[in-house]
Amino acid sequence: MSRKGCRRRKKKSSASPKNSPNNKSKSPSGEDDKERFRDDHETVCLIEDAIQPTVDIGNLRRLAVERGLVNRRLRKRCWPLLLGSGADSTPQHSTCEREYTLSREFSSSKSSSAISPDSKEEETEVQVDKYEEWHQVDHRDRHVVEVDVERSLWSFTEGMSDERRSELRQELSRVLNATVGRYAGFDTGVQVHYYQGLHDVASVLMMELGSEIGAFQLLSQLVVLHLRDCTKPSLEPVLELLQLVWPLLSFQDSGLSLHLQRMGLPAYFSLSWFITWFAHDVKALKVASRLFDFFLASHPLMPLYLGVSAMQAMRQPLLACMEMHEAHALLSHIDITGDLMPPLEELMSSAVRLMQHLSPLGLVERSLNTLPPMTLCVVPWATWIDETQCWQLPSTTPRVIRAVHQHQHQGLQRLLSRFPGWQAPGWQAPDNESALLSKEEGDDTSSSLRRGVYHNRKRPRVLMALSKGGMVSMYVVAAVIAGYAMVKGGFGKEFGVY
Amino acid sequence: MEEDFDRELKVLVVGNGGVGKTSMIRRFAKGIYTDEYKKTIGVDFLEKALFVDELQEEVRFMLWDTAGQEEFDAITRTYYRGAGAAVIAFSTTDRASFDAVAMWKSKVEAECGEIAVALVQNKVDLVDQAVVSATEVETLARKLGLKLYRTCVKEGINVTEVFVYLAELNQRKQQAAQPPVEMLPSKPKVLSAEPAENSITVDSGDNRAQTVDLAPSKKRTKGKKSLKDRMSSCSVA
């Protein structure tokens, strides 16, 4: 048995489409080196083009996903841009409303001085001033930070002297405390709590950027965006969110999903994927930074998509697991660049494809069939706002409403009318122009699903609707991102507000 | 093969962060120690087979390492189910970890009932930095009715003893809880994956939950080897 499994595995890695996987550092030939150098050089030029003279954020995000940001210099410049800050050349950014603003004081100073080219520098200075204060703020988890930092930075610091490492640990501890301290004065809903794993993320930022302040600035944005669900007072929102692994895996590979669920495997094997962006188990900074390029430019759920793609790659060993603990051990310390995996670039593209086939909202919609409606997490509803060039999250989990029959739909309309500016989709397929801004490709047969994206003028957010033509009923799914209502209809389901 | 019929014992290792839970498990399962441990995210799993003289039997220890931060409770609790034993660890140099012992005990009991538990004081080599006195530790152990082990994971002192003790205690509890007729090892039981089944045993005061949970795992089927065995034999072939 085992021999067979082994041979298969070996075959798989050698038969992978790219013969010289660029993430595997083992003895690359000179040819490969040259080729990579050329590729990198080309990528650098493309990135330079994307950020100068003005920032083309769409282009930059695409490059970060598809090619990576290559080196430290570019990452220093581009990582903040990917989170929607530091884009001083896009004045529109500062004037747009940012509902989920990173820090109120700064966003207000930003909008008032947006025209001045010095505004960014000033802002940085203010931050540096305050940084001293923030990292001394007392908070619940100071002790946890301390014990975590003591055990940190074993990765990414190979060959470093103990003295240097302990200096870096002090920096790391300040970065973490300041990140929590920065939000300490806000309402409880906005406050940020430390969790074990955040320091893995912080280590990557710090080591790659080579700057304590730089790491702090990025981290303090991440904790209210991509990592928002992790920094709540408890990790419950993350636990809820991780359940999405199952519908996602089922979509990709229902056999594997069934096999793992049958053995009673909790979805928490994916915990460190999501809360540390794989940084907990990645050993090389180069790989971690490449993953961070990818995740910073992607939807916050991308770590789960990448993880599920990796699960697919290790399908055989997973199917060979008969007991829950075996599968847990394999998955929770997944080696994303290990022998079982395709080259990292390939793995990332398959995650992107998976997200194209099943968007986060589509995933949430699918999950409604098998999971209880989510009530705590907000990250699955993250949307990229072109106007502001940043991610936006609802401040609470959208509610779920199911409507099947026409009278229920009327109820739905009444409900939506309570949200000023919102328009419910018509009972017939919503081809009304003011409502339907974009249609799913492939269009228009009555049996196919149609997707409408609804805008609300007052709150620049999205209402998504799926409608299914047909005699008997209409299928309505809508997520009101900032209106805090998610509307879902389905065959035979009772109308209700959850 | 005979080893496929090992007795299995699921052991939880709990306690505040940084007290040396992971190091202890590694020391026991792999016989190694290094400073370079990372904190545990959520839960980790390791296994170790050991012949326990007192039981005249090989025991396969299924070791579940848990994150210490309270935020992870909801996750770690999920893995408590079916545990036959638990180690509650604290550090000589961390007062808060000592003060949290009683809380950890009640957390374990709430999920697992009265399973075999041992109290472990780690880092005893760091006496000069001690923040708990020998007397108060002993008093606490007596109060909680737990056997105390003083370990130094770094030097490998008293580590294996903890687990051997747990295997014995588990065996005793099992025998006490179950009338001899039902102890036939061949009796197949199905361990359900459903969460509800054996998890609500709070304050029941008996040992049923633990025995029910253990019985099925004693029996391994189809000559299946552990994952580790398979993986290592793979990479050699």
Q: What is the pLDDT of residues B139-197, one digit of tens each?
A: 999 999 999 999 998 888 889 999 999 999 999 988 887 665 544 444 444 444 444 33
Residues B44 and B149 in one domain: yes
Two structure tokens written together for A14: 């050698």
Residue A218 has pLDDT above 90, yes or no: yes
Task: Say which range, A163-177, A424-438, B109-123, has the weakest mean pLDDT.
Answer: A424-438
If pLDDT is split at 50, 70 and 90, which confidence band does A415 have? low
The minimal CB distance from B45 to the residues A5, A197, A329 is found for A329
- Does the pLDDT at position A27 exceed 70? no
Of A193, A188, A482, A242, nearest to A374 (Cα)?
Answer: A242
Looking at per-residue pLDDT, the higher value among A404 and A315 belongs to A315
Number of structural domains in chain B: 2
The pLDDT-based confidence of A198 (bands split at 50, 70, 90) is very high
Record the pTM: 0.73
**ipTM attached to this prediction:** 0.71
pLDDT tens profile A310-357: 999 999 999 999 999 999 999 998 889 988 899 999 999 999 999 999
Q: If pLDDT is split at 50, 70 and 90, which confidence band does B36 have?
A: confident
Q: Tell me: do B13 and B48 sit in the same domain.
A: yes
Q: How far apart are CA A260 and CA A129, in angstroms?
A: 51
CA–CA min distance B176, chain A (Å): 28
Structural element, H or E, at residue A11: helix A2-14
Residues B31 and B53 in one domain: yes
Q: What is the DSSP string of B61-130?
A: EEEEEE--SGGGHHHHHHHHTT-SEEEEEEETT-HHHHHTHHHHHHHHHHHH-S-EEEEEEE-GGGGGG-
Length of chain B: 237
Residue at B232 is within a domain: no
B236 domain-assigned: no
Weakest-pLDDT range from A128-137, A257-266, A466-475:
A466-475
Identify the pLDDT of residue B190.
44
In this predicted structure, the answer to whether residue A37 has a pLDDT above a threshold of 50 is: yes
**Percentage of chain A modeled with pLDDT above 70:** 65
- Mutation for A interface: B39, B44, B47, most A CBs within 10 A: B39
Does the pLDDT of residue A278 top 90, yes or no? yes
Checking if the pLDDT of A265 tops 90, the result is yes
Same domain? For B172 and B126 the reply is yes
- From chain B, the residues in CB contact with A147 under 8 A are 17-18, 39, 94
Residue B103 domain-assigned? yes
- CATH classification number, A71-373, choose in 3.30.70.20, 3.30.420.40, 1.10.472.80, 1.10.760.10: 1.10.472.80
How confident is residue A411, by pLDDT bands cut at 50, 70 and 90? low
Q: Which residue in chain A has the smallest CA separation from B223?
A: A1
- Structural domain ending residue among the three candidates B177, B200, B229: B177
Residues B113 and B150 in one domain: yes
Find, among B169, B187, B196, the residue nearest to B9 by Cα.
B169
- B30 and B127 housed in the same domain: yes
Please state whether beta strands B147-150 and B116-122 pair in parallel, antiparallel, or not at all (unpaired).
parallel
The chain-wide mean pLDDT, for chain A, equals 72
Residues B34 and B147 in one domain: yes
B29 and B136 part of one domain: yes
Q: Kindly state the DSSP code that residue A450 receives in the 8-state scheme.
A: E
Among A198-207, A422-431, B11-20, where is mean pLDDT lowest? A422-431
Range B3-32 average pLDDT: 86
Top residue of A3, A151, A259, A333 to mutate, by most chain B CBs within 10 Å, is A151
Which residues constitute the domain of residue B201? 186-215
Please tell me whether residues B117 and B211 are part of one structural domain: no
Is residue B82 assigned to a domain? Answer: yes
| Structure confidence at residue A370 (pLDDT) | 82
Confidence of residue A245 (pLDDT cuts 50, 70, 90): very high
Residue A2 pLDDT > 80: no
- Do B70 and B23 belong to one domain? yes
B-chain residues near A271 (CB < 8 A): 41-42, 75
